[in-house]
Amino acid sequence: MTELYTTTEEHEELRSAVRAVADDKIEPNAAAVDAASAFPQQAYDALRATDFHAAHIPEEYGGVGADALATCIIIEEVARACASSSLIPAVNKLGTMPLLLGASEDVKQRYLPQTTRGETMFSYGLSEREAGSDTANMRTRADADGDDWVLNGQKSWITNAGVSDYYTVMAVTDPEGKRGGNISAFVVHADDPGFTLGEPEKKLGIKGSPTRELFFDDVRIPGDRLVGSVGEGLKIALRTLDHTRITIGAQAIGIAQGALDHALAYTKERQQFGTAISEFQGVQFMLADMGMKLETARQMVYAAAAKSEREDSDLSFFGAAAKCYASDAAMEITTDAVQLLGGSGYVSDFPVERMMRDAKITQIYEGTNQIQRLVMARQMLKGGTR
């Protein structure tokens, strides 16, 4: 059996560097960001200053060229401090991955260096109200008009909408064409005439990362903003998710690690019946289960990241499995952390209630965990996991 992944000395040095930034610049503002539903500008500034905001972009576009595992480590360590802030590097990867996978060299050179320099952010526009899990059922259309395209429709649940400058948007370009093969991808600019945003969603968690609808009313897109060829949009979108849902797994293990860290510290300090509650067997069993789930999830995410880097044929299975298992584990671990802190866990004086709220979305976005199980099962039935 081949080795699934290797963490190098550089990976561990990176982890230490990101953790230092997260502890110093990001974690102190996490509660305030959540309470105010405010974009974490201080985190963005700190990530840009250290090139952690879009480290996945290759060196030929001015980037750091971090591999998939290094990118996951960045997201994990930021999420340990603040889940909302971890969506800065995660969504920059999500929004630019279609360009890396399918765009012309001209499009890459036009947009990627700006993101690398921290001048712009990218978001990703795939889902619609009636086309969430059923992405091929989208209604947004782009009609050819000479060399241009005219975009009409809407997109829902778009992360970092309103702070991003660019949006990779999927739209139907051939209404009579074969389902799934009639969708194309475009880069939309925030200042394009006819492009507007809905009001910020009022959410359970990740409140510091704005989520809004996108509306397109005769938005004229020059033909040179096409990502890939006409009709390749959904293929590029799904390939993108194979790579980027792993980053949601990384976000999930970061949130879970943060919750476990707080639970361990609290149980060693909190005393009942004259002793620290960490001495009670029932508490130790809970902590052991939390640690076991977390380390299993971390191994799955790191293995999937290595497969992403190698473009392994079983990436779809491993990406879905890593995202699904890690997010389920994060929900369980954060819930148990709240339980271990008792009444303190239920109030915002302690961060575990925020972490529990933040963890929930990892089971939903970039494909619900029910969809991930479908992806896994179909790969298994095709014999694509070994």
By annotation, the residues acting in catalysis are: 366
* Max Cα-Cα span within the chain: 79
363: three-class secondary structure by DSSP: coil
Q: 155: closest CA among 123, 191, 202?
A: 123
| Ramachandran sector of residue 164 (left: φ over 0; alpha: ψ -120 to 50; beta: rest) | beta
Count other C-beta atoms under 10 Å from residue 368's C-beta.
15
216: three-class secondary structure by DSSP: strand
Q: What is the spatial distance between Cα 21 and Cα 27, in angstroms, rounded to a whole number?
A: 9
- Locate 49 and state its tokens: 């200053």
Local structure of residue 199 (DSSP, 8 states): P
Count other C-beta atoms under 10 Å from residue 32's C-beta.
12
Q: Which residue has the tokens 């809407």?
A: 154
Q: What is the spatial distance between Cα 248 and Cα 254, in angstroms, rounded to a whole number?
A: 10
Handedness of CA 158, 151, 170, 369 (dihedral sign): positive
User: DSSP letters of 131-175?
Assistant: BSS-GGG---EEEEETTEEEEEEEEEEEETTTT-SEEEEEEES-T
Q: What is the spatial distance between Cα 60 and Cα 44, in angstroms, rounded to a whole number?
A: 23
Q: What is the spatial distance between Cα 330 and Cα 130, in angstroms, rounded to a whole number?
A: 28
Q: What is the spatial distance between Cα 108 and Cα 114, in angstroms, rounded to a whole number?
A: 10
Q: What are phi and psi of 142, to 5 degrees?
A: -125, 115
Q: What is the spatial distance between Cα 63 and Cα 1, in angstroms, rounded to a whole number?
A: 34
Q: 123: closest CA among 72, 184, 166?
A: 166
